[in-house]
Amino acid sequence: MPPEGAPKQLMIRAKAPLRISFGGGGTDVSPYIEERGGVVISATVNKYAFGTLRPRQSDPIIQIKSLDLDVEARYETAEQWRFDGKLDLVKAVLQNFTPKQGFDLFLHSDAPPGSGLGSSSTVMVALIGLFKHWMKLPLTQYDVADLAYKLERLDLGIEGGKQDQYAAAFGGFNFIEFHKDATIVNPLKVSRQVVNELEYRCMLVYTGRTRLSANIIREQKERFSTGKTTDVLDQTKQLAVDLKNALLRGNLDTFGSLLHQGWELKKNFASKVSSPEIDKMYEAARATGAVGGKILGAGGGGYLLLFCEFDRKHEVAKEVRSLGGEPTEFAFEESGLQTWEVHG
């Protein structure tokens, strides 16, 4: 506690929402974007990446603490910001903004890396939000998402798609178009009634394991480059359009069936998108009362999204729990990146 009468310290906070991708995932990955253009339909949920930045007044020291990973680091010079696998997301942001003042930085997320909810990209968006607020930079939502993509995918070379950064920056339900020279976010005006029904009938299930998405994405890109998945990705892109139309019209049983079709297509992207354990859990859920669903993110683990018959959702939850899954309720989040100040 600071002594009585001492000036209060400024703290800047940021939170950015994690996302659920309903369809089109895989078409947001290069080189498909450049050659054929991709689309994704997604929505953000009430799970977040958080950050707090507390400027130091008297020294240039940078102290970073990841509360989830239980990792701490202390830097005194810019030469120490080498990419070595430890807090590289933070280092990429530091290299971009080159702060002249010391600070303490605290990070944590509601989902671990490899969850399929876009957690690493969402952390990057939250980090950029902190520096945007602190340095009073006039960055738009597009600017934040573009920079997050550049730092994560290009500067750090982390394999992945392009949707997560835009979902976290904008928030809400979006139909996102990916072109060679531009990304366009189309916010969807989904009625409150439809959102309520989606929340009522959907379930997130943690499969009990995370996965390294980069390896799956790498194989997906190789398959596309040899022409093996072009048709499947084209069908996936059309499915995203169909999902959008079903959602906007409130045809949720159709929406659930389309989720299932998308999952069947997605399993052709790469060999490790699914696993015997995931297949067993999903088929058991379908037999018990799930209309459709899919593994989120690149696949291989993380969270499974299930759309259920309303009167059998509890049976589905019981069944997946018996197979080692962790059912989780959630709500949709309308807002994207948010930053604010506190003094304490």
Please calculate the CA angle 290-332-175 and round it to the nearest 5 degrees.
90
Cα 316 to Cα 148, 198, 203, 281, 292: the distances in Å are: 37, 16, 9, 10, 12
Are the CB atoms for 92 and 61 separated by under 8 Å?
A: no
Torsion sign (Cα): 313, 318, 321, 326: positive
How far apart are alpha carbons 90 and 105 in whole angstroms? 9
The sign of the CA dihedral 239, 242, 247, 252 is: negative
For residues 203 and 315, the answer to whether their CB atoms sit within 8 Å is: no
CB 104 within 8 A of CB 56: yes
Contact between residue 214 and residue 297 where contact means Cβ atoms under 8 Å apart: no
Q: 111: Cβ–Cβ under 8 A, 6 or more apart, which residues? A: 18, 47, 117, 119, 303
Question: What are the E-state strand segments in 56-101?
Answer: 62-66, 71-75
Q: Which residues are catalytic?
A: 164
Containing 101, the helix (H) or strand (E) segment is: none
Report the candidate in 26, 105, 126 with the shortest Cα–Cα distance to residue 335. 126
Per DSSP (E only), the strands in 56-156 are 62-66, 71-75, 103-109
Residue 141 structure tokens:
């939502």
